[in-house]
Structure 1
Amino acid sequence: MRTGFLFAVLLVFSTHVFPQTLSFGVVPQQSAKKMAALWSPVLQYISRASGLDIEFATAKDIPEFERRLRDGEYDIAYMNPYHYVVFHQKPGYQAIAKQKDKQIQGIIVVRKDSPIHSLEDLQDHQLAFPSPAAFAASILPRANLERKGINFTPKYVSSHDSVYLNVSRGFFPAGGGVLRTLNNTDPKVSQQLKILWTTPPYTSHAIAVHPRVSEEIRQKIVRAMLEMNNDEQGMTLLKGLSFKGLEAASDQQWDDIRELNIRLLDHLLE
C-alpha cells in the first residue's frame, strides 16, 4: 500500500508541469514605475508565447543594476552595450536578442532657450549624466568632450529622466541621454529641450541570459520575441518601448564596443 501511495505521488509530480519563473532585469534608465508600465505587457506577451513565467525586475539606480548583473541576480537582462561586454566576461551573460535595425547614439540636450549652441560652449560647466557607466548617455558624450579638450564637471543624477528634468529646470546647462528615453519622457519636460549634439552610432542594448538558463529555455524566449514581429498586438507593445521589432543576436555583434577598450567597470570583475 505504501508503494502504491509513493507511486501515485510521483505520478502527480511527473505529470504536472510547474511554470518556471524567470526574472527579467531592465537597466533603470527611467523611473521603475514608468519602465514597469512599458515592459510588463511585453514580458506578459513573451510569457504567454513561450509558456514561461517571466517577471519584470530592475534596480534603484544603474550602479545597483551593475552590482546585480555582476552577482547574476537576473535570469534575463536588458542592458546597455558596455554592460554587456563587461558582464559577458563575468558571470557570463550571453546575448540572445536585440532591438531590430537599431544602433545606439547618445545625445546632449539643452533647453530650447539656452544660449549654448556648440559643445565648446560647455567649457567649465557642470553637466548632468545618468551614471558613470551609462554607455550612450554618459560614456560616449564624456569621451567626446574630453577628446575635444573641453573641461567640464560631470554630475550623476541616477536616471535619464532625472537628466532631462534637471536640464529643463535650469539646474544644469546640458546633460546626456538617448533619443529613445527623451521621446518617452514626460512631454512637459521634453518639449522644453533640444538636442545639441549626437554621438556616432554603435551596437545597441543587448537582451542576454545568465549561463544557468538552459538552451531549451533560451530558444523558447527567442522564438516568442521574434513572434512579436509578426503580430499586431506584439508590435503595438514594442512600439511602446520605441522598438521597431526584435531580432536574434550573437556575442560578436558587440565587438565594436570591445574595440573602444573601456575599463570603467573592470573593478567589478576582480
Structure 2
Amino acid sequence: MKRFSAMVLLIFLTFSAWAQTYSFGVLPQRSAVLTAQYWNPILDYVGRKSGVTLALATKRTSLEYSEAEARGEFDFVYNNHIFAPSHADASYRVIARMAGKPIHSQIVVPQASAVRSLRELEGREIGFPNKNGFTGYAAPMSALIRAGVPVTPVFGGNQEGVMAQLRAGRIPAAGVNSRVMQEYAAREDFKYRALWTSEPYLDLPVGAHPRVPMPVVKAVRQALTEMASNAEGSKILAASAAVIKQDPPWGFVAAEDAEYQNQREVYRTIWKTEAR
C-alpha cells in the first residue's frame, strides 16, 4: 500500500510539473511591442514542442527587470545579467544561447559627430541602458575607467531607449550591444560609428532557475536548440527576425555557464571598482 501511494504521489508531482505555466523572463532591450512580437511566437512553438507552457514576462525598464531577476522571480530567463554578483543568489544556470556570431560592447556616436576619441567624452553625459547591463554598461564603463575618462552616466531605460536619445541628439555617445545597435540602426535608418569596440562575447544566454524540474529544463532546451532545424520552427524564427531586422543565422544552440567566464570577470571588476 505504501509503495502504491508513493507511486501515485510521484505521478501527481510529475503531472503538476508539466501542467503548470513557467515564466520566461526577457530583458527589455527593445519596446514592449517589439519584445512581444519577437518572443511570443517563439515561446508558443517551444511550448508546443516541449509540452511545457511558457509565458513571456518582462518589466517596464531593464533595471526593473534585472532587479526582479536577481530576486529569482522568473523560471527561465534570457539575459546575461545573471553573471553579475547581484544575481548570484538566484543561481540561474545556462542552458542555451542565441546562435550566430559573438556580440561586442561598443561606445558609439552619430556618424556626423565631431567626437573622434574616448578622451573627448571626458566630463560629458554618456548614455547607458541601466547600471546592471553588461554590453551596455559594465564593459563600456570599464573601458572608460581604464582609459582614465570620467563621465556622467545617463540611463535610458533599455538599449533602444538610449539609442533613441543618441539619435535625437540628447547625448553625445552611448554604451550599447553591437547587435542591438545594428538592428536598431537598420530599422530607423540611423547612421553611427564606434569609438570603441570590446573583445567578442557570447550572445545572451537562456537560463533556468534551480526550482524548475530538470525534465522540464531538458525539454525546453531541446525544443529551443532544435527549432532552427524544424521547418515550422525555422519559419517562425525568420518571421520574428524580420520584426527587429535581425540577420541570420537564427535560432539557439546549447551552452553552459563555463563559456561565460569572461563576462563574469568584467562584472566582478566593475562591481569592485564601484564598491557595490
One-letter identity of the residue aligned with 2:224:
M
Residue 135 of structure 2 corresponds to 136
Once residues 223 and 54 of structure 1 are traced to their aligned partners in structure 2, the CA distance between those partners, rounded to angstroms, is: 14
One-letter identity of the residue aligned with 1:252:
A
Residue 204 of structure 2 corresponds to 205
The structure richer in helix per residue is 2
Residue 160 of structure 2 corresponds to 161
Larger radius of gyration: 1
Once residues 187 and 113 of structure 2 are traced to their aligned partners in structure 1, the CA distance between those partners, rounded to angstroms, is: 17
Residue 253 of structure 1 corresponds to 259
Q: 1:184 to 1:261 in 2, by over 3 A?
A: closer
Give runs of aligned pairs for residues 4-153 of structure 1, distance below 5 A: 19-80=19-80, 82-86=81-85, 89-153=88-152
Once residues 258 and 39 of structure 1 are traced to their aligned partners in structure 2, the CA distance between those partners, rounded to angstroms, is: 26
Residue 4 of structure 2 corresponds to none
One-letter identity of the residue aligned with 1:223:
Q
One-letter identity of the residue aligned with 1:134:
G
How far did residue 183 of structure 1 move? 3.1
Instruction: Normalising by structure 2, report the TM-score.
Output: 0.82
* Contact 1:88–1:94 (CA under 8 A) maintained in structure 2: no
Once residues 257 and 86 of structure 2 are traced to their aligned partners in structure 1, the CA distance between those partners, rounded to angstroms, is: 12
Once residues 263 and 59 of structure 1 are traced to their aligned partners in structure 2, the CA distance between those partners, rounded to angstroms, is: 27
Residue 170 of structure 1 corresponds to 169
Bigger CA drift: 180-189 or 101-110? 180-189
Once residues 86 and 232 of structure 1 are traced to their aligned partners in structure 2, the CA distance between those partners, rounded to angstroms, is: 40
Once residues 24 and 151 of structure 2 are traced to their aligned partners in structure 1, the CA distance between those partners, rounded to angstroms, is: 36
One-letter identity of the residue aligned with 2:217:
R
Bigger CA drift: 138-147 or 245-254? 245-254
Q: Which runs of 4+ in 1 moved over 4 A?
A: 263-266
Deviations 1:70-106, CA, capped at 9 Å, x for gaps: 22211100012x4335476312211111122442311
| Identity score, percent | 29
One-letter identity of the residue aligned with 2:92:
Y
Q: 1:261 to 1:184 in 2, by over 3 A?
A: closer
Q: Where does the alignment leave 5 or more consecutive residues of structure 1 unmatched? A: 1-9
One-letter identity of the residue aligned with 2:29:
Q
* Contact 1:182–1:190 (CA under 8 A) maintained in structure 2: no
- Number of equivalenced pairs: 254
How far did residue 236 of structure 1 move? 4.1
Once residues 236 and 36 of structure 2 are traced to their aligned partners in structure 1, the CA distance between those partners, rounded to angstroms, is: 13
Q: 1:182 to 1:261 in 2, by over 3 A?
A: closer
